[in-house]
Amino acid sequence: MIWERLLAVVSPDGTPLVFPSGLFLWAFAIFALAHGLWREHGAVRRWLFIGFSVWFYWRSSGEFVALLLGTTVVDYWLARAIGATESTAKKRLYLALSLGSNLGVLGWFKYANFALGSWATLSGRTFEPLDIVLPVGISFYTFQSLSYTMDVYRGEIVALKRYRDFLFFASFFPQLVAGPIVRAKHFLPQMEADLHPSGAERSLAVRLILGGLLKKIVVADYIAVNFVDRIFDAPLLHTGSECLLAAYGYAIQIYCDFSGYSDMAIGIALLLGFRLPVNFDRPYAAATLTDFWRRWHISLSSWLRDYLYIALGGSRKGSLRTYVNLALTMLLGGLWHGASWKFVLWGGVHGAWLALEKLLGLPQRVAGSRWKSALSWLVTFHLVVALWVPFRAKTLQIALDLCGQILAGVDVALLRQVVTAFPTVFLAMAAGYAAHLAPNALDRWFDGRLAKVGWIGRALALAVVAWVVVQVRTAGIQPFIYFQF
C-alpha cells in the first residue's frame, strides 16, 4: 500500500502527522503559542508559518517536500515573468511553461503507470508497474499553484514580489494535503489583514474542529473498520442486503471523512485568523446532480468550472459544445481523483448525467414543485450512491460483483438482521446522515452556545469530544480518503 510505504519514510515509529493525532496537537500547540507571541511581526510570523508548514508536509510526505518547494520556485518566477512583460506571446509562453511543469510532474507521479499499463493492455504486452509513490496532496497543491499563475496571466492579481509570500500561500499547512483548494486572489489579501479572530469566529472554529473530529473518527473510521471495508473487500462472501447497506455506509463514510478534514482545516485556519472557503454544503440534500456538484467539494468544482469548463468555451459556443464541455470537464475531474479506468467511468457518467440534466432543463423543472423535487432528490441520491461503488471498489470487477449481489436480491428480513448484528455501526451511520441533513440553523445555534460559555466551556466541549473519540476508536487513525488524490 502506498500509505504504508510513505509512512515508513516519514515516520519510522508509524505515527502519521494528521490533524487528529497527538503529535499534531502538541506541535500545533507550540506553533500557536509562538504565533500568538509574534502575531504583530509580519515577517517573523510568515517565516513561522512557512517553517511549520514545510515541517508538516515533510512529516506527511517525507522527501517529497522538495517537490513542493520546487513547484513554488518555478511558479513564483514564471508568474513574475508573466507580470513583467507586455508581450502576449511571452505571457502565453510563460503560462504554458507553468502548465507544462506542473501537469508534467503530476502526470508522472499520478498517471505514468496508468498510461503505460493501458498501452500494454491494448498492445498485448506485459507490464511491470514502475516503483512510483504518489506524494500526499500533490493534486491539491498543484491546482492551487496553477490557479495563481493563471490569475496573474488573466490580470486578476499582481505577481508577488517576494518568494516568501508565495511560499506562505502555497504551503499553508491547514489545507495543504487535502484542501480546500484556495485561490490566491482570496488568500493573499488576508496575509496583510488583521489576524485577530472575533469571539464568534473562535466559536465557529471550535465547532468546526469538534465536528470534524466526530465525523472522521466516530462516524467515518468506525463504520469503515467495522463494516464497510470487509464488504467491499469480498462482496461475493456477503448477501445483497449487506452489500446494499455497505453502499449506503460508504456514501456517508466518504462524506464524513472528507468534510471532516475540510472542517478541521477551516477551523484551524480560522483560529489563526485566516478564512478558507466552505467545501461542503449538505450535498446529499441536492435535488439534482447539478446541485450536488455545487455542494460537494466546492473548491474543486469551482476550480474545474473556472479554469477548465469556461476555458473550453463553457456554454458560449452552442448547446452541443456545452454538453461536450460538461462531459469532458467531469471526465477529467474523474481522472483527477485517480489514475484508473474506474475513475474514468465515474467521471464520465457524472458528466453525461450533468449534460442530460442541462438538455432536459431539469434544475428548472423541479424548482418550485415539492413532489418533483422529492422524486428528483430520490433519483439523484441513489445515482450518487451507486457511482460511489466503483469509486470505492479496488477494481471494476469488485464493483460489478457488489452490484450483482444487490441486484440478485435484497431481503427485508436480512436487512433487519444485519442492522441488529451491527447496532453501533448503523447508529453511527444514522448519526452521520442526521448531522449531514440537519438545518444550518442548528449550527448557528451551537455556535451561539459556544460563544456564551467562553473558553472554559469550549475546553470542556473539546474534552467531551476527546473522550467520545477515545471510546469509539477500535484501531489507529485511518488515512484520510482524499490523501490518495
Question: Which residues are identified as catalytic?
Answer: 337
CB of 357 closer than 8 Å to CB of 290: yes
Residue closest to 18 by CA, chosen among 187, 197, 217: 217
Distance CA 375, CA 380 (A): 9
Amino acid at 477: I
- How many angstroms from the chain centroid is the CA of residue 103? 19
Q: Helix (H) and strand (E) counts for the chain?
A: 22, 0
- Count CB-CB contacts under 10 A for residue 471: 8
The helix/strand/coil state of 159 is coil
Residue closest to 65 by CA, chosen among 50, 55, 76: 55
**DSSP one-letter string for 266-317:** HHHHHHTT--PPP--S-GGG-SSHHHHHHHSSHHHHHHHIIIIITTTTTTSS
CA distances from 468 to 29, 446, 465, 473 (A): 21, 18, 5, 9
The helix/strand/coil state of 372 is helix
> Burial of 215 by CB count in 10 Å (0-12 exposed, 13-18 middle, 19+ buried)?
buried
Supply 234's cell numbers.
469480498
CA distances from 282 to 81, 291, 376 (A): 42, 10, 16
| Residues counted in the chain | 485
Distance CA 140, CA 284 (A): 24
Whether the ω angle into residue 180 lies within 30 degrees of 0, i.e. cis, is yes
The helix/strand/coil state of 87 is coil
Residue closest to 98 by CA, chosen among 176, 170, 178, 180: 170
Backbone phi, then psi, for 120, in 5-degree steps? -65, -40
To the nearest 10 degrees (0 to 180), the angle between helices 42-61 and 65-84 is 130
Distance CA 224, CA 242 (A): 14
